[in-house]
Structures are given as C-alpha cells and as structure tokens.
A and B are shown apart, each in its own frame.
Chain A
Amino acid sequence: MVAKTTIVRFATACMLVCCFLFSGAQLHAQRDAISTDEAVIKEGKALFEDWTCNTCHAVGRKLVGPDLAGVYDRRELDWIKSFVKNAGKMIADGDPQAVALYEEYNQIMSPWALDDNQIMAILAYVRNVEENPVVEAKPTDGGGAVSPGAGGSGVPESYLNTIVVALVVVLILILIVLALIISVLRKYVQDKGELSDDDEAIVNEKFSISAFLKSPTVIGIITFLVIVLAAKNVIDGLYTVGVQQGYAPKQPINFSHKIHAGDYEIDCQYCHTGVEIGKSANIPSVNICMNCHSSIKTDSPEIQKLYAAQESGKPIEWVRVHNLPDLAYFNHSQHVKVGQIECQTCHGEIQEMAVVEQHAPLTMGWCIDCHRNTDVNTKGNGYYDKLVELHNSSSKSAMKVADIGGLECAKCHY
C-alpha cells in the first residue's frame, strides 16, 4: 500500500519535472525563434521608437510598464502578439496573466496597430539589447564643458601662477644679493678703520623691534588704522540694518537650484509661473514637482517628503528668502514681461546656487540706481511710441526708466 503511494508520488514528480524541463525547452525555443538578423533588429529599433514603446518600456529596467528583458521567456509569443494588439480585450476576457499585469501596474496598454512581423521585429530588437548591453561611458561631471577661467581672456591660470612664483623667487634673490652687498661694504669700511664715532654708530646700528614699536610714529599709525577699520565696520554694519542681503535660510527640503536650473536647464518660469502674469513669482506647488519626480529620484529621502505632502495635501512650508518690506510695492510681471529683465539681474547666478541667498540688497538706492541707468525697452511696443517721440524732442540720450516716472515716489510707495 505504502509502496504504491510512493511509486505514484515518484511518477507524478517525474512528470512534473519533465513538464518543467519541456516547457523550459519550449520557452528557450521561443527565444531562439526571435531573429538576430541585423536588418530585423534595425527595423525593430525604429518601430520601438516610432510607436513610442520607449515611453513606457525599457529593456533591463521597469518604467511605466514591465521590463521587456526576457519577455519571450516568460510568455508565449502568441500571447505577446495579442496583448500588444489589444491588451484591454485580454484583460476584459479575464486572461489570468493579463489581469495579473493590470493589477500590478494599474494601467492598460493602448492597443497598437502592429502586425505580427512588426512585433517580432520589436522582440528582435529587445533580444539584441538584452544580450548585447551597451557599455555606457561613465558620465564625467561637466566633462564636455570648458573649465571656467581657462576660457575667455588670454592667459590661462597655470601660467599666471608660474609667473607669480618666478617673480617671488627673483625678489628673494635680489634681497639676498643686497644683504650680501651690505655685509661686504660694512666689512670693507670697518677694515679701513678711518671712521669717526658718529659714522661708527651708523655702521654698527642694530635694528631693535621694541624700540621700533614704541616709536610715536608707529603707535600713531596703528591707532589710526584701528580706528578707521572699526569705524568702517560700524558704518557698514549700520548700513546692513534692515537689509537682508546674504540671507540664505534652510529650507524644509534640500532643494538645489544648481541641479534644477543649472545642470538640467529647466527655465525659471516652469516652476515660478507667476513671474510673467503677476506681482509674485510664486513658489511651485507639489503637483509641479511631481511632473518630474513621479519617476525621477523616487528613493531619495528628500523626494519622499514631496510624496508625503502630496498624500496628506499639506503644503510644504518653504521659507521666503526675499522679504521686500511691506512699505514698497514691486511687481514681477512689470519687470520680466514688459522690461525683459533677466531673472539673474536681481537674483544673481541662481543656477549656481545650491542654497538660494538674497543676492541684491533690495534697498531703495539699488532700485533707483537701476531705474536711472536702464534704457526702456520700447521696441515693438506701440504703447511707448508717443513717449519716445516726446522724449527725443527734448533729449539726445536714450529714454531711461527714470524719464517715464521710474523715480516717482508713488510708483512704489502708496
């Protein structure tokens, strides 16, 4: 009885193993059924891009849809073909693999009007990428960029350093030579021994530091310098009262403008959407961050804070950097849209700042200075035609902001 059961079990196990081996062999046969012909691979690559498969799929990593590497080992070729042609129908019909995919990715792939040969060509491309992965050149930081300082004006930095070092060496040599001359002359004069007492004193004079420091001239000079420097510091310090230049507060998320605006060249307006249409430039809300960070750097703890904010609906409390006093009015759209002023003119090299700091003093003198020196951008703006005419009738210089009311008190203070 027992032996019989054992035999049955053994037979079943053997059958299962056979099935497994057989199916494995069949799946391997599937892989082999996919062409490795160069022309087919090339066609497949073109199709993969033309039909935008690459939007959702990649070989070797998961994007929106599953990783395609080895898909021909996992699924029957016929299944792949009908899934590409109409995934929605397969899910609706209750195909277990299709339903499992839908549950995992929560997306239905759009139906694609591709024929069997095209699908096989795409698979050929996928197989080629999987089996012959491209060895990516290691990205070097700013490898292509010309290092600053080297470009532009004539002499490179290394040459300048060499020149400075050479000059210092020459100066030291001159000092040594002079010291030698002095000692030789002194020896010569002493050896002659024909000097008067006064001359003797001069020749043998020893330099005394304490006497030098105690001399009224030196004390006077040092006192004067200390007072002047202290006064300068005090005056400079007093001028910074009420001026927040240099303020660089820590933000709730370590956001770097250097990465976003510098390395990735995202325009300022993409996030600061109010800059052309309103008074404030606006701080982006989480949905704007999520346009990219839905799939970029999703593991970073800083980015996780975005997800938390999105989930709870609680806005991120960024710390305001530029606090223009309430007594002055400023409008971004007026300057950016009409005046065509670059953001960097007032905010500094934002694309280089890992932590944003207030670049300009935002004092009245600073505003006025710019209004006095900036030509009004009247080109292609009919609003200014008559003003320019009027201005040109009485003046030879270009029309500045100051000429059209840029110095009026009530423009900014009301």
Chain B
Amino acid sequence: MTNKLKAFVPLVLVVLISACTANGDNPGLEYAPQMYHSVPYEPLTQITDKESGEWLSNREDGLGEFYNSNPNNPYSQNVRVPVAGTVKRTGNGMLPYRLKKEDLLAAADVVNPLPDTPEIKTEGKRLYNLYCDHCHGTNGKGSVDPSAKVGEVFAGVPSYSSAAKKNLSQGHVFYVMTHGYGRMGSHASQLSAEKRWKIARYVRELQQQ
C-alpha cells in the first residue's frame, strides 16, 4: 500500500510546485521575501496591512515585515505633494510661473523664454506627438484630423490654424497647457514648464500652416 502511495509523491510535488508560479491574482512564491520588500518608504508601493508578513518579521516595532506605509500622511500614502510655492531645483533656470487661472490676458503677453531654434522645435514636435496629438491631431487640425483618435470621440477640438486660434500668442498656448481652457484640463502635472514652452514653439508652427 505504502509503495503504491509513494508512486504519487512526484505527482504531488508537481502540483505543489506549480502553485509557486505567478498567474492572475497570485504573484507566486517569493524566494527571499526580506530581500524583496523595501524597508524604506517606497513611493509606488503601499502595504497598509500592519500584519502583512508578520510570520517572518523581526522588526523592532513589532509590525509585519511587509508593512510599508506612512500613517502621518493623508490616506497613509508614502508620497506627499510638495509644499505650495515650492520652486523646482532642476528647473533648468526656468522661473516659477505665478499667473493664475484668471490671468489669461496677462498670460498672453508672456514671451517664450526659450530661443527659436530648430532643436527646440524638433523636441517640441516630439513632445507634441507624445502628449497632444491624440486629441489635437498630428497636424493640429483638431477633431477632424484623422490622427486625432481621441479628439474624434471627445468632439469639438478646434484646429490651431482656424481663424479664431491662429493668432494666439505662445504665452496663451502655455497658459492653456498650464491651467486648461474650456474643456481641456491642465497638463501641468504631466509636463514641466520647460517642456510646455518647447511645445508652444512647435504649436506656433502648426498655427501658421
């Protein structure tokens, strides 16, 4: 009898080991969990369960080994929003943009601080094609541009070269990217001021086509 049971040992082993493989919601078995999980606060990981990994914990605070969240932050997040008025250290000499949502008229007079060089326009074009083209189209024709897949569904994205838009200043374009305008939302969280000015240089070209 035991001999017959022994025959199943490899089978059981196969089944057990296949459970270590990751699929669906199962991340699979970890080989050395204490080397896998970050001890410092990890910005894009958050484990709020205080008992997570308690079985192998040797932490001094008695919490689970995998617990990784900051109870002092809102929603125990590991990241914080910078204090209001923070000036970016890596801004490449770019001064903070202080104009508010209601300052559209003043914003239109702001001059693009970046020089009008082919390199900046090329970079502006590259960024435009990453951040703008799905709504405004590769040619900046708005919703009717065949490359504006999202713009078509979003409906009513104006063409840069339309009578109403073609003479708008780069300061205006920068303002729109920063604060949003009409139905367009602010893109300041996605693009640094420098990148926005680069895009404004390229949009100027699309306005004049």
Q: Which residues of B contact A241 (CB under 8 A)?
A: 20, 28-31
CA distance A243 to B21 in the complex (A): 8
Whether the pair A315, B75 counts as a contact (CB closer than 8 A) is yes
Contact partner of A320 (CB less than 8 A), chosen from B44, B77, B144, is B44
Q: Which residues of A contact B26 (CB under 8 A)?
A: 247
CA distance A295 to B190 in the complex (A): 20
CA distance A140 to B157 in the complex (A): 24
Whether the pair B183, A295 counts as a contact (CB closer than 8 A) is yes
Closest residue of chain A to B42, judged by CB?
Answer: A326
Q: Is B94 an interface residue (CB 8 A)?
A: no
User: Would you give the 0/1 interface string for B28-46, flagging 1 where the beta carbon is closer than 8 Å to chain A?
Assistant: 1111100111110011111
Q: A234-B14, A242-B32 are in contact. Are A323 and B158 (CB under 8 A)?
A: no
CA distance A242 to B74 in the complex (A): 32
CA distance A270 to B189 in the complex (A): 11
Interface residues on B, range: 35 or more
Whether the pair A250, B189 counts as a contact (CB closer than 8 A) is no
Q: Which residues of B contact A63 (CB under 8 A)?
A: 155-156, 183
Whether the pair A267, B22 counts as a contact (CB closer than 8 A) is no
User: Would you give the 0/1 interface string for A307-320, flagging 1 where the beta carbon is closer than 8 Å to chain B?
Assistant: 00000011101001
How close is A316's CB to chain B, nearest CB, in angstroms? 11
Whether the pair B36, A325 counts as a contact (CB closer than 8 A) is yes
Q: Which residues of B contact A288 (CB under 8 A)?
A: 189-190
CA distance A56 to B185 in the complex (A): 14
Whether the pair A242, B164 counts as a contact (CB closer than 8 A) is no
Q: Is A369 an interface residue (CB 8 A)?
A: no
How close is A64's CB to chain B, nearest CB, in angstroms? 5
The stretch that binds A, out of B109-117, B146-154, B196-204, is B146-154
CA distance A54 to B141 in the complex (A): 13
Whether the pair A244, B156 counts as a contact (CB closer than 8 A) is no
Whether the pair A244, B27 counts as a contact (CB closer than 8 A) is yes
CA distance A325 to B21 in the complex (A): 16
CA distance A54 to B163 in the complex (A): 13
**Chain B interfacial positions (CB closer than 8 Å to A):** 10-11, 13-14, 17-18, 20-32, 35-39, 42-46, 74-75, 77, 129-131, 133-135, 143-144, 147, 149-150, 153-159, 162-165, 182-187, 189-192
How close is A235's CB to chain B, nearest CB, in angstroms? 9
Whether the pair B182, A291 counts as a contact (CB closer than 8 A) is no
Q: Which residues of B contact A296 (CB under 8 A)?
A: 150, 153-154
How close is A295's CB to chain B, nearest CB, in angstroms? 6
Q: Which residues of B contact A315 (CB under 8 A)?
A: 75, 77
How close is A365's CB to chain B, nearest CB, in angstroms? 14
How close is A364's CB to chain B, nearest CB, in angstroms? 12
Q: Which residues of A contact B42 (CB under 8 A)?
A: 326
List 23 A-B residue pairs with CB atoms under 8 Å apart, sorted by A's residue number.
Answer: A49-B162, A50-B162, A51-B162, A54-B158, A55-B158, A64-B182, A227-B10, A234-B14, A240-B28, A241-B31, A242-B28, A247-B26, A248-B24, A248-B25, A249-B27, A250-B25, A265-B149, A267-B129, A267-B134, A270-B131, A280-B43, A320-B44, A326-B38
Query: Can you name 13 extra interface pairs (CB under 8 A) apart from A49-B158, A323-B45?
Result: A54-B143, A54-B155, A58-B155, A64-B156, A240-B21, A241-B30, A244-B22, A247-B23, A249-B27, A270-B134, A296-B150, A296-B154, A326-B42
Closest residue of chain A to B7, judged by CB?
Answer: A226
Q: Which residues of B contact A245 (CB under 8 A)?
A: 22
- Interface residues of B, dominant DSSP: loop
Whether the pair A240, B20 counts as a contact (CB closer than 8 A) is yes
Contact partner of B131 (CB less than 8 A), chosen from A247, A269, A327, is A269
Contact partner of B22 (CB less than 8 A), chosen from A246, A285, A313, is A246
Whether the pair A323, B156 counts as a contact (CB closer than 8 A) is no
User: Would you give the 0/1 interface string for A38-58, flagging 1 where the beta carbon is closer than 8 Å to chain B?
Assistant: 000000000001111011111
How close is A270's CB to chain B, nearest CB, in angstroms? 6
Contact partner of A323 (CB less than 8 A), chosen from B27, B39, B153, is B27
Whether the pair B46, A317 counts as a contact (CB closer than 8 A) is yes
How close is A7's CB to chain B, nearest CB, in angstroms? 55
How close is B46's CB to chain A, nearest CB, in angstroms? 7
How close is B89's CB to chain A, nearest CB, in angstroms? 13
Q: Which residues of A contact B27 (CB under 8 A)?
A: 244, 247, 249, 323
Most chain B beta-carbon neighbours within 10 Å: one of A55, A240, A242, A266:
A55
Q: Which residues of A contact B25 (CB under 8 A)?
A: 248-250
Q: Is A166 an interface residue (CB 8 A)?
A: no
Q: Which residues of B contact A233 (CB under 8 A)?
A: 14, 17-18
Q: A52-B165, A58-B155, A267-B131 are in contact. Are A287 and B22 (CB under 8 A)?
A: no
How close is B124's CB to chain A, nearest CB, in angstroms? 15
CA distance A358 to B31 in the complex (A): 18
Contact partner of A242 (CB less than 8 A), chosen from B30, B43, B182, is B30
Whether the pair B183, A320 counts as a contact (CB closer than 8 A) is no
Closest residue of chain A to B162, judged by CB?
Answer: A50
Q: Which residues of A contact B150 (CB under 8 A)?
A: 264, 266, 292, 296
Whether the pair A264, B36 counts as a contact (CB closer than 8 A) is no
Q: Which residues of B contact A242 (CB under 8 A)?
A: 28-32, 36
Whether the pair A56, B183 counts as a contact (CB closer than 8 A) is yes
Q: Is A294 an interface residue (CB 8 A)?
A: yes
How close is B43's CB to chain A, nearest CB, in angstroms? 7
Closest residue of chain B to A314, judged by CB?
Answer: B75
Q: Which residues of A contact B184 (CB under 8 A)?
A: 291
Q: Which residues of B contact A323 (CB under 8 A)?
A: 27, 36, 45
CA distance A273 to B191 in the complex (A): 8
